Structure 1
Amino acid sequence: MTKKADLPDPAEHQPFPLDTVMATLAATMPHYAQPLIDQMGGEGATPFRILVATILSLRTKDTLTAVVAPRLFAVADTPAALLNLSEAQVTELIFPVGFYRNKARSLREISRILLEQYDGKVPNELDQLLALPGVGRKTANLVLTAGFGLPGICVDIHVHRICNRWGYVRTRNPDATEMVLRAQLPDTYWLSINRLLVTLGQHICLPIAPKCSLCPIAAACDRVGVTRSR
C-alpha cells in the first residue's frame, strides 16, 4: 500500500510545458501523413473548396473524402456550378460520405446563400460562416485557418481528446474546449494546433490504447483517462 507520505504534493505539479510540446510536435508531426484539409490549404485550395471538403469530411474518414471531394470538384468547384446541379446529382457525386443526402442539400443551400448574399464568395467572418446550413464551429474555424490563414481554433474530437488527456484543459465537449483554448492558448498556436493534434491523434494518440511508447511528448502528458496504452 502506498503511504500517504509517498503521494506527490499537488503543489509540486508543474505547469504544462506548452511551448516545448508544441515545438516538439511542429518538428515531428510533418513526418506523418497530414490531415486532408490542411493539405488542401497548403496547396492553395480556394475557401469554397475548403468549406465543401470540410463539410464532406464530417463523420467521414480523410481517405474517403480525398476521393469524393475531387470527384465533386471536377464537376462543380464554384457556388454557381454546384447550384446548377440537382440535389440528386450532388448526392450521387458525394456518395458514400456520411450523411450524404443531408450534405447534398446543405451544399446546394450554401451555394445559393453565397451567390445571393456574398457575391459567390465564402465569408471570412466566424459568425457569417456559422449562419450557413450545416456549418458548425469546427467547420467554420477550419475554413478561417486553412481557407483564409486567419486566426481560429478548430477543435475536433482529436484536439478535444488530446488537450484533456494532457491535462491542459478539463472540458466535456469540443465546443467547451474551444472556449477554454481561446482564453488560455497563446495566439501563436491558434493556426497550428488543429493540424498538429489531428496528426498526433490519427497516428499516435489514438482514442483507445494510444501508442504512448512512440509519442514524442509522452513525458509531458498526464494521460488523463488512459487505462491501456502501447
Structure 2
Amino acid sequence: MLGDDAGRGGCTLWGVTSLPAAERPAGAGDRAAQVLAHLERLYPDARTELDFRTPFELLVATVLSAQATDVSVNAATPTLFERYPDAQAMSQATPEDLEPYIRRIGLYRNKARHLAALARLLVERHGGEVPNDFEAVVALPGAGRKTANVVLSNAYGFPAIAVDTHVGRLSRRLGLSAQTNPDKVERDLQALFPNERWVFLHHALILHGRRVCFARRPRCSACELLACCPQIGVTDAA
C-alpha cells in the first residue's frame, strides 16, 4: 500500500527512498519541468499499450511482456484469456497447458511456469483477485517491482513509475538521472516530478523511446525535446 509520505521530493513510496539531489545530474530539476511540458503536449493520451479488461489480465500481460514486445503479447492474450479468463481457471492449468498460447513470446516456457504458479497463489492467498498491495504483487511468481508498479498504477490508479529499458535510457539521456539501476532511476524520477504525473510520465517516456529516442541512432534531429536534452550517452544520432 502507499506510504504516508508519497509525493514529490524526498519521498518514501513502497520502500523506496529518493536519492539526495546532489546525486542527480546538474540542472535536473529545471529540465524535468521542461521535459514534462513537452511530453504532455506530444502524448496527451499516453497509456499502456497492453490490452486488458481486468487486473488479472493486466498482471498476466505484464508478466508476459518482460523481454518481449507489447505487440507480441497483445497477439497472444485474446486466445489465452478466452480459455483462461481468470485466476481460478488458470490455476487448474499446467505450464504445458499454457505454452501453446504464448509460444511466440520470448522465454515462453519460463513464463508459462510463472503464470501457472501465479494463478494458484492468487487463488490460495487472495481469493483469486489481484491484490491492490505492492508487496503482495511483488511476491507473485514472475512479478517484480516493475510489474507491481504497472499493475497498481493502471489497474488501481496508484501513483507509480515503472522503469523499463525505455524509461531508464531516456532518463539518462535527458539528464534526469545518472543511475543505471532501475530502482535508483525510479527514485530520481519520483523526486523530480509530482506524483500525480508519475503514471503519465512512465507511459509518455515509453512512447517517446519507441517512436523517437531509439536505443541505437535516436532521431535527435526530429526530436521535439532536443532543446532541453543534453543527449547524455548519445553517440550515433540521426
Query: SS of the counterpart of 2:104?
Result: coil
Instruction: Indicate the structure with greater helix content.
Output: 1
Aligned residues: 213
Q: Structure 1 segments of 4 or more deviating over 4 A?
A: 12-15
Query: SS of the counterpart of 2:42?
Result: helix
CA distance in 1, matches of 2:187, 2:70: 26
Match of 1:20 among 13, 16, 34: 34
In structure 2, list runs of 5 or more residues that go unmatched: 1-25
Query: SS of the counterpart of 2:150?
Result: helix
CA displacement, residues 33-79 of structure 1 (integer Å, 9 cap, x when unaligned)? x6423xx36xxx21111100011111111221110111211111200
The Cα shift of 1:182 comes to: 2.9
Note if contact 1:139-1:154 (Cα within 8 Å) is conserved in structure 2.
yes
Note if contact 1:145-1:191 (Cα within 8 Å) is conserved in structure 2.
yes
In structure 2, what is the equivalent of residue 58 of structure 1?
A: 66
Query: SS of the counterpart of 1:110?
Result: helix
The Cα shift of 1:30 comes to: 5.2
Note if contact 2:176-2:188 (Cα within 8 Å) is conserved in structure 1.
no
Q: With structure 2 as the length reference, what TM-score do the two structures score?
A: 0.83
CA displacement, residues 9-42 of structure 1 (integer Å, 9 cap, x when unaligned)? xxx968533223212212212589x6423xx36x
Q: Which has the higher contact order (CA 8 A, sep 6+)?
A: 2
Q: Pairwise mapping of residues 84-99 of structure 1 onto structure 2 (< 5 A)?
A: 84-99=92-107
In structure 1, list runs of 5 or more residues that go unmatched: 1-11
Distance 1:13 1:139, change over 3 A: closer
| 1:27 aligned partner, one-letter code | R
CA distance in 2, matches of 1:161, 1:93: 32
CA displacement, residues 185-213 of structure 1 (integer Å, 9 cap, x when unaligned)? 32122111111000000010101110012
CA distance in 1, matches of 2:45, 2:156: 25
In structure 1, what is the equivalent of residue 224 of structure 2?
A: 216
Q: Pairwise mapping of residues 37-116 of structure 1 onto structure 2 (< 5 A)?
A: 37=50, 40=51, 45-116=53-124
CA distance in 1, matches of 2:234, 2:30: 18
CA displacement, residues 127-159 of structure 1 (integer Å, 9 cap, x when unaligned)? 111111111111110001111111111111111
Query: SS of the counterpart of 1:161?
Result: helix
State, as a whole percentage, how many aligned pairs show the same letter: 36
Note the aligned Cα RMSD (angstroms): 2.0
Distance 1:214 1:26, change over 3 A: same
CA distance in 1, matches of 2:95, 2:79: 16
The Cα shift of 1:177 comes to: 0.7
Which structure: larger Rg? 1
In structure 1, what is the equivalent of residue 186 of structure 2?
A: 178
